[in-house]
Amino acid sequence: MMRVLLVEDEELIREGLRLTTPWEEMDMEVVGEAGDGEEGIEKILDLQPDIVITDVKMPKLGGLKMIEHLKGKTDCEYMILSGYDEFAFAKQALHLEVQEYLLKPVDDGELREALENIAAKIKKKQRAGSGEELQQSPDVRNIQDKYLDRAREILRERYWENLTLKSVADDLLISDSYLGKLFKSKTGYTFLEMLTFYRIRAAVDYLCGTDKKVYEIAYAIGYSDPKYFSRVFCRVTGMKPMELKNGRHLPKDHILRRL
């Protein structure tokens, strides 16, 4: 059975986690609680839990400082539940190899999935007999990758909508500045550039596979101004929409590689 310790300064939240989470169903038990990072250090070193769930900002000592202090002194895995979505917090959590960074209020299903993911990693580490090997495993996705994957999924599935960096960030419950930095740092492209690529890829399919007129295609993929769409299409592909529609070859793979 996995041993869990809760570090949270708000007693009501700690009690809610302890009483409403189906610990037994996940083969877990809460073995201790702490109200701040200093108490958390004492409890973690004493009880040696498998999983620690902690807040970021707490009196005396915050969760990230607590984790940093315990680095190399314990083998537990960490999950952060926080009301703060600042990029600096997420970046530091990633650096400290925190397994999950969830924003309050946390959905019960999301919490359970995160706990089960951590438990699976612990079991795999135990079987392998070496935590170092697992840390290098490509199967372990970091916090930033999860946000970015979901954002790109939204672009793929809803590119024709009036999407903005803020609207997508709001869907993910993170700040638009954080999401913007993720796109640039992870892909090399801005949010708008990525949205444009998805729209242009759809336009290529329309132009090659349908009888739709250029202005109809512009509306279908999210542009209200067909002339602006034509300029964007030309900038990305090197040709005008009508040139493609009239049969001139377009290197589709070139566009797809950029997506």
Asked if residue 89 lies in contact with residue 68, where contact means CB atoms within 8 angstroms, the answer is no
pLDDT digits (tens, 9 = 90+) for 73-112: 888 999 988 886 666 666 777 777 888 888 888 888 889 9
235: pLDDT strictly greater than 50: yes
Q: Which domains does the chain have, with CATH numbers?
A: 2-140 (3.40.50.2300), 142-259 (1.10.10.60)
Which candidate, 138, 166, 135, places its Cα nearest to that of 151?
166
pLDDT digits (tens, 9 = 90+) for 202-211: 998 898 888 8
Query: What mean pLDDT, rounded, does the chain reach?
Result: 84
- 81 by Cβ neighbours in 10 Å (0-12 / 13-18 / 19+) ranks as buried
DSSP three-state, residue 255: helix
153: pLDDT strictly greater than 60: yes
Cα–chain-centroid distance for residue 205?
Answer: 29
Residue 131 pLDDT grade (very low, low, confident, very high; cuts 50, 70, 90) = very low
Q: State both tokens at 106.
A: 């946390």
Residue 195 pLDDT grade (very low, low, confident, very high; cuts 50, 70, 90) = very high
128: pLDDT strictly greater than 80: no
Higher-confidence residue: 133 or 127? Answer: 127
**251 prior amide bond cis, ω within 30:** no
**What's the pLDDT score for residue 74?**
86
- The share of the chain scoring above pLDDT 70, in percent, equals 86
What is the per-residue DSSP string for 59-79?
SSS-HHHHHHHHTTT---EEE
d(CA 52, CA 126): 17
Residues 6+ apart with CB under 8 A from 146: none
pLDDT digits (tens, 9 = 90+) for 22-70: 999 999 999 999 999 999 999 999 899 999 999 988 988 999 999 998 9
Q: State both tokens at 119.
A: 């438990």
Residue 73 one-letter amino acid: K
Residue 182 pLDDT grade (very low, low, confident, very high; cuts 50, 70, 90) = confident
Q: State both tokens at 90.
A: 């997420």
Q: List strands edge to edge, sheet with 28-34.
A: 28-34, 2-7, 51-54, 77-82, 100-103
The helix (run of H) or strand (run of E) holding residue 34 is strand 28-34
d(CA 118, CA 112): 10
d(CA 246, CA 57): 60
**What's the pLDDT score for residue 86?**
61
Q: 163: how many CB neighbours lie within 10 A of its CB?
A: 20
